């Protein structure tokens, strides 16, 4: 037989495009359309429905950037359409791009009842099936003219469209056709048949019989279609395909659990207020589809998005609640948002689960067993313990498939965190969280699955996402045909819990991955939008302070514990940890609002802290220092207040003979040369130099920063090929007890203050940058005379070790990584820490010195300060920024932990009558760190204390809480529920005795005595 494969395949493509798909709506009639555009922000539904409108016709431009227009659509079903299926096809001016990145709409009935959302792949609204003829059609469409930031066709091009203040007012869209149409279900089913078989055929081996069987059947079907009468011949064409569609999948076919999905970014290329409407549109679509398709199951994560619907769209919320109660609309993940997991601090990461799971429990009576994070940019090594402590045991992600250097070796595995906790983890081999159920995607999942021979199942999140939209009727139809079809994986709609149960049952002993799940991409998200990151870090620590002092004051003075305020503020901070907000990858509008939000949060938390501390201090003139850190300092106990026993202060700089200054407190001697660089940081007690010979620390380094793509997200390894040391000094002098260094470069200016406290081995560096560069990367370097094969970087409830060498491609790929408050490296008996108050990105490299007989090793730690990408925010980080870092020679890991908290929790001075405020909670072992002291969320009066072992070793500690019954203390999960399998902890000397394994985190609940 002659090879006519290409001929048939090309014929299929054209006939589908030009004849069959257009015949789905063979008869149409225009609708009457009117429009009203809001003058400013979106209005309530009732106002939009009642607004005065004016006529508008297809081809008319409409919609200013980020504007809202209300369309009124009316018409009458022709009488001669009686008995047929009729729907409206409503084109707002859609472009071929996918849903979520252009105009969108939500259709309402005149009474305000939502019908469904509109987007370019889902623009129909059903009128009736069948119709009687003569029905009056009357709908309103709330349409958003969100600009398409990539409309130029050139990705990552800088654009002013990311903020309403700079986007202008030119219309963004041209109204398309608004028509009533007869829907020919037979032709639509023929389209689905041909698409499924054509897509499957293209994935089958050319030398296999199945591909040719499908090809011949498709050829016969195309012969059966009369191109002048597609509607009259569609059924006989379908009959030609019935036999090949009926051949079942083989017993070894890969099994895919499809779950309807719409990964909606809580902010990204749109502001938060627009996400509220995206969620309403998508959930309206999905609840409508659930009513039409009995086998379909839809899942949605992010409790915040449910809360938005409840608050802003109660009519949609009612439909969602009913669908959840029916078991078809499945809340997933149990987190407040799909957050970044690298940068959120310990408590913030825990509270993501506390607030997310509690919302689902309160609203639906549902508790999820899985964390659901398909799009998060890598996963911190402390996360498994947090997931387990929240009462969950499973994790779904997909983003690791985006890694550019190494292919992750598993799709189903157990992930082990820093404390030994393990979670059953799956990331879908379909390699997308926006699966469209195409033959190519389904075949890729089966081929790509790395557990072949040991497991047979994977999950496919199916539906348009990022900007929303969800699953379409076409995706459901394709899944139905793929339920059991020879040559394809077998597809079944299933809830995530059902998939995980089956996957774990068939694969009870999967391989184990230990440590962080590092994404070899999007590394620059650790640095972009410094203001957002600083706001997050400051908010986390202010929340710690507010809970600590409010709880202490509540117990000691009857101060009203601000439950509602803290709950609301926590949710605000958690929202802004979403994986396109905290990472700095959203439009200018998002980050402008985030900075303003963080200012409001700081003011409100500052008010709570001040009120609680004043209640504790009383009225008077005695000076009290409150210490919120988990360690004693300046003779003030952790979590307490006292009159400082010594003034502390800093040492006075002394001029050096050859230029620069000397700072010497008897513990540490720091030499700053005439360039304002640290050429010596000498640990006097250890008789040990910190700075590598011939090198200088406090060295600002500037690199070009123009990644191949994903500007705000990525920094590519080649950035290090070119760079300049900023050694020119504009001014060097003394300001107070600090050495002041001023530098000018490009269009920017840096002022640094270097000081040494009188009583600590620490060099404090306060850096202020007036930043006006573009596409540049600014680093702060510390070349250290330390030979270390690995270093420690703080993460949630502990630290993770990373190699300093690049023996393997896995090690080389970690050229930019995350830390929280410190990095630490050491040789046996001596170490050094670099701590910070607000930066996350860093790199650590090593080099062996040559010349002068010195073959020692220089290990360089560089903190990432600022970037200047131009997409999606062309003005990223322009302006003034302030960073605080400290170099701590002779530091152990415990010292690094202590100094990290010190840098982020400054002392507060309050005047009052009290001589001291005793800590509400004390711990007798510095290796056991208190991360939270708070009143129990159920408002029953119990105290909740969260602690963790911070050094990476075993630790025994006695925890005492003044006024609380140690003998009735219980261990709880993160939601403050008693752990069923945990014995009541022992007691000693009126305290609770804990024996902790390395990095173990525990939550104690103590009732009042």
pLDDT in tens, 741-758: 999 999 999 999 999 999
The phi and psi torsions of 461 (rounded to 5 degrees) equal -70, 115
Confidence at residue 647, expressed as pLDDT on a 0 to 100 scale: 55
Q: Which residues contact 574 (CB under 8 A, 6 or more apart)?
A: 304, 336, 337, 339, 348, 351, 352, 355
Joined tokens for residue 156: 């990552």
In tens, the pLDDT along 237-258 reads: 999 999 999 999 999 999 999 9
Crossing angle of helices 230-245 and 185-203, rounded to 10°: 40
Confidence at residue 648, expressed as pLDDT on a 0 to 100 scale: 67
Name the CA radius of gyration of the chain, rounded: 31
In tens, the pLDDT along 534-575 reads: 999 999 999 999 999 999 999 999 999 999 999 999 999 999
Crossing angle of helices 314-325 and 346-364, rounded to 10°: 80
Rounded Cα gap, residues 11 and 915, in angstroms: 90
Confidence at residue 855, expressed as pLDDT on a 0 to 100 scale: 81
Confidence at residue 151, expressed as pLDDT on a 0 to 100 scale: 81
Average pLDDT over residues 344-355: 98
Contact 489, 256 (CB under 8 A): yes
User: Does residue 852 register a pLDDT over 70?
Assistant: no
User: Does residue 853 register a pLDDT over 70?
Assistant: no
Element (H, E) at 832: strand 830-836
**Number of CB atoms found within 10 A of residue 2's CB:** 5
633 Cα distance to chain centroid: 35
User: Does residue 645 register a pLDDT over 80?
Assistant: no
DSSP-derived pairing of the beta strands 916-917 and 943-949? unpaired
In tens, the pLDDT along 917-929 reads: 999 999 999 999 9
Average pLDDT, the chain: 97
What is the four-CA torsion angle of 928, 933, 935, 938, rounded to 10 degrees?
Answer: -50
Percent of the chain predicted with pLDDT > 70 = 99
Secondary structure in 3-state letters for 256-300 = EEEEECCCECCCCCCCHHHHHHHHHHHHHHHHHHHHHCCCCCEEE
Joined tokens for residue 115: 């019908």
Contact 662, 669 (CB under 8 A): yes
Tally of helices (H runs) and strands (E runs) in the chain: 18, 54
Crossing angle of helices 314-325 and 303-312, rounded to 10°: 130
| Cis before 872 (ω within 30) | yes
In tens, the pLDDT along 424-476 reads: 999 999 999 999 999 999 999 999 999 999 999 999 999 999 999 999 999 99
Joined tokens for residue 162: 């990311």
Rounded Cα gap, residues 4 and 610, in angstroms: 81
The confidence band for 97, taking pLDDT boundaries of 50, 70 and 90, is confident
Note if 375 is an active site residue: yes
Contact 442, 430 (CB under 8 A): yes
Confidence at residue 851, expressed as pLDDT on a 0 to 100 scale: 73
User: Does residue 777 register a pLDDT over 90?
Assistant: yes
Rounded Cα gap, residues 837 and 985, in angstroms: 35
Question: Tokens 């409001």 — which residue?
Answer: 600
Average pLDDT over residues 783-812: 98
Per the DSSP assignment, residues forming a β-bridge with 21 are: none
Catalytic residue from among 163, 193, 265, 375: 375
Q: Which residues contact 820 (CB under 8 A, 6 or more apart)?
A: 343, 345, 793, 794, 795, 796, 840, 900
Rounded Cα gap, residues 210 and 486, in angstroms: 8
The confidence band for 850, taking pLDDT boundaries of 50, 70 and 90, is confident
Contact 867, 527 (CB under 8 A): yes
Rounded Cα gap, residues 549 and 770, in angstroms: 35
What is the four-CA torsion angle of 8, 9, 10, 12, rounded to 10 degrees?
Answer: 80
Rounded Cα gap, residues 891 and 889, in angstroms: 5
Contact 739, 891 (CB under 8 A): no
Contact 463, 469 (CB under 8 A): yes
The confidence band for 646, taking pLDDT boundaries of 50, 70 and 90, is low
Element (H, E) at 219: helix 209-224
Least-confidence region, from 94-98, 337-341, 604-608, 770-774:
94-98
Average pLDDT over residues 587-614: 98
Percent of the chain predicted with pLDDT > 90 = 96
Joined tokens for residue 947: 């602690």
Q: What is the DSSP letter of 786?
A: -
| Helix-, strand-, coil-residue percentages of the chain, each rounded to 5 | 30, 30, 40
Q: Is 728 in a helix, a strand, or coil?
A: coil
């Amino acid at each position: 037989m002659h090879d006519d494969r290409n001929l048939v395949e090309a014929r299929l493509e054209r006939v589908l495009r030009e004849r069959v798909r257009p015949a789905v709506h063979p008869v149409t009639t225009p609708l009457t359309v009117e429009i009203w555009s809001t003058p400013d922000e979106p209005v309530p539904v009732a106002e939009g429905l009642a607004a005065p409108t004016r006529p508008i016709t297809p081809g008319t431009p409409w919609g200013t950037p980020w504007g809202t227009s209300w369309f009124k659509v009316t018409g009458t079903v022709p009488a001669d359409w009686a008995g047929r299926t009729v729907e409206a096809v409503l084109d707002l001016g859609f472009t071929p791009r996918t849903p979520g990145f252009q105009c969108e709409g939500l259709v309402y009935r005149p009474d305000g009842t939502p019908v469904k959302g509109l987007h370019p792949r889902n623009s129909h609204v059903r009128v009736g099936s069948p119709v009687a003829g003569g029905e009056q059609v009357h709908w309103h469409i709330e349409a958003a003219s969100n600009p398409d930031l990539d409309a130029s066709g050139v990705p990552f091009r800088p654009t002013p469209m990311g903020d309403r203040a700079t986007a202008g007012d030119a219309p963004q869209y041209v109204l398309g056709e608004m028509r009533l149409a007869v829907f020919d279900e037979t032709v639509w089913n023929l389209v689905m048949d041909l698409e499924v078989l054509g897509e499957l055929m293209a994935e089958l081996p050319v030398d296999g019989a199945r591909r040719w069987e499908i090809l011949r059947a498709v050829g016969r079907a195309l012969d059966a279609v009369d191109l002048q009468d597609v509607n009259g011949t569609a059924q006989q064409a379908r009959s030609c395909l019935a036999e090949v569609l009926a051949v079942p999948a083989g017993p070894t076919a890969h099994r895919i659990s499809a779950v309807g999905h719409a990964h909606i970014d809580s902010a990204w290329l749109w502001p938060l207020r627009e996400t509220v409407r995206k969620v309403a549109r998508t959930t309206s679509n999905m609840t409508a589809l659930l009513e039409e398709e009995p086998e379909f199951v839809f899942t949605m994560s992010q409790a915040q998005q449910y809360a938005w619907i409840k608050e802003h769209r109660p009519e949609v919320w009612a439909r969602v609640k009913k669908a959840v109660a029916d078991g078809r609309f499945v809340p997933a993940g149990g987190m407040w948002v799909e957050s970044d997991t690298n940068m959120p601090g310990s408590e913030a990461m825990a509270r993501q689960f506390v607030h997310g799971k509690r919302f689902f429990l309160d609203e639906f009576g549902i508790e999820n067993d899985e964390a659901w994070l398909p799009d998060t940019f890598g996963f911190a090594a402390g996360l498994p313990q947090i997931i387990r402590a929240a009462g969950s045991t499973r994790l779904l992600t997909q983003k690791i498939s985006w890694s550019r250097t190494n292919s992750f070796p598993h799709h189903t595995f157990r992930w082990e965190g820093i404390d030994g906790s393990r979670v059953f983890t799956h990331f879908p081999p379909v390699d997308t969280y926006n699966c469209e159920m195409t033959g190519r995607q389904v075949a890729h999942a089966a081929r790509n699955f790395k557990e072949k021979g040991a497991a047979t199942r994977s999950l496919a999140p199916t539906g348009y996402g990022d900007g929303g939209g969800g699953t379409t009727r076409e995706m459901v139809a394709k899944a139905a045909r793929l339920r059991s079809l020879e040559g394809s994986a077998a597809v079944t709609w299933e809830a995530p819990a059902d998939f995980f149960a089956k996957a774990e049952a068939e694969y009870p002993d999967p391989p184990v991955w230990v440590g962080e799940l590092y994404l070899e991409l999007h590394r620059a998200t650790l640095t972009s939008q410094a203001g957002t990151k600083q706001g997050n870090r400051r908010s986390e620590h202010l929340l710690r302070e507010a809970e600590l002092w409010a709880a202490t004051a509540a117990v000691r003075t009857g101060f009203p514990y601000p439950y509602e305020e803290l709950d609301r503020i926590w949710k605000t901070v958690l929202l802004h940890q979403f994986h396109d907000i905290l990472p700095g990858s959203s439009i200018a509008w998002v980050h402008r609002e985030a900075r303003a939000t963080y200012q409001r949060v700081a003011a409100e938390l500052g008010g709570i802290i001040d009120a609680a501390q004043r209640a504790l201090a009383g009225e008077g003139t005695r000076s009290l220092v409150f210490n919120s850190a988990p360690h004693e300092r300046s003779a003030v106990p952790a979590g307490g207040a006292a009159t400082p026993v010594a003034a502390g202060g800093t040492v006075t700089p002394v001029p050096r003979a050859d230029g620069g200054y000397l700072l010497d407190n008897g513990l540490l001697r720091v030499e700053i040369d005439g360039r304002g660089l640290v050429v010596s940081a000498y640990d006097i007690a250890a008789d040990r130099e910190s700075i590598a010979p011939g090198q200088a620390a406090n060295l600002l380094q500037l690199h070009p920063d123009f990644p191949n793509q994903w500007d705000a997200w990525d920094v590519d390894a080649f950035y290090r090929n070119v760079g300049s040391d900023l050694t020119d000094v504009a001014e060097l002098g003394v300001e107070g007890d600090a050495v002041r260094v001023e530098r000018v470069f490009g269009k920017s200016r840096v002022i640094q203050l270097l000081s040494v406290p009188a009583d600590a081995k620490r060099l404090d560096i306060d850096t202020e940058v007036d930043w006006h560069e573009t596409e540049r990367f600014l680093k702060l370097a510390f070349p250290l005379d330390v030979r270390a094969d690995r270093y420690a970087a703080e993460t949630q409830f502990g630290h993770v070790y990373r190699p300093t060498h690049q023996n393997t491609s896995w090690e080389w790929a970690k050229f930019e990584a995350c830390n929280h408050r410190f990095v630490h490296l050491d040789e046996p008996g001596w170490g050094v820490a670099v701590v910070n108050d607000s930066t996350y990105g860093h790199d650590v490299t090593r080099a062996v010195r040559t010349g002068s007989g010195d073959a020692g090793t220089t290990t360089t730690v560089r903190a990432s300060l600022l970037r200047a990408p131009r997409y999606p925010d062309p003005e990223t980080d322009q302006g003034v920024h302030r960073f605080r870092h400290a170099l701590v020679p002779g530091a152990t890991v415990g010292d690094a932990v202590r100094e990290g908290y010190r840098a982020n929790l400054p002392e507060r001075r309050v005047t009052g009558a009290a001589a001291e405020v005793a800590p509400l909670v004390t711990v007798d072992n510095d290796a056991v760190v208190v991360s939270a002291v708070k009143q129990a969320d159920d408002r029953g009066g119990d105290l909740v204390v969260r602690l963790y072992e911070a050094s990476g070793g075993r630790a025994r500690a006695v925890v005492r809480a003044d006024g609380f019954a140690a003998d009735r203390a219980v261990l709880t999960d993160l939601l403050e529920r008693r752990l069923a399998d945990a014995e009541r902890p022992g007691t000693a000397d009126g305290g609770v005795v804990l024996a902790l394994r390395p990095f173990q985190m525990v939550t104690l609940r103590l009732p009042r005595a």
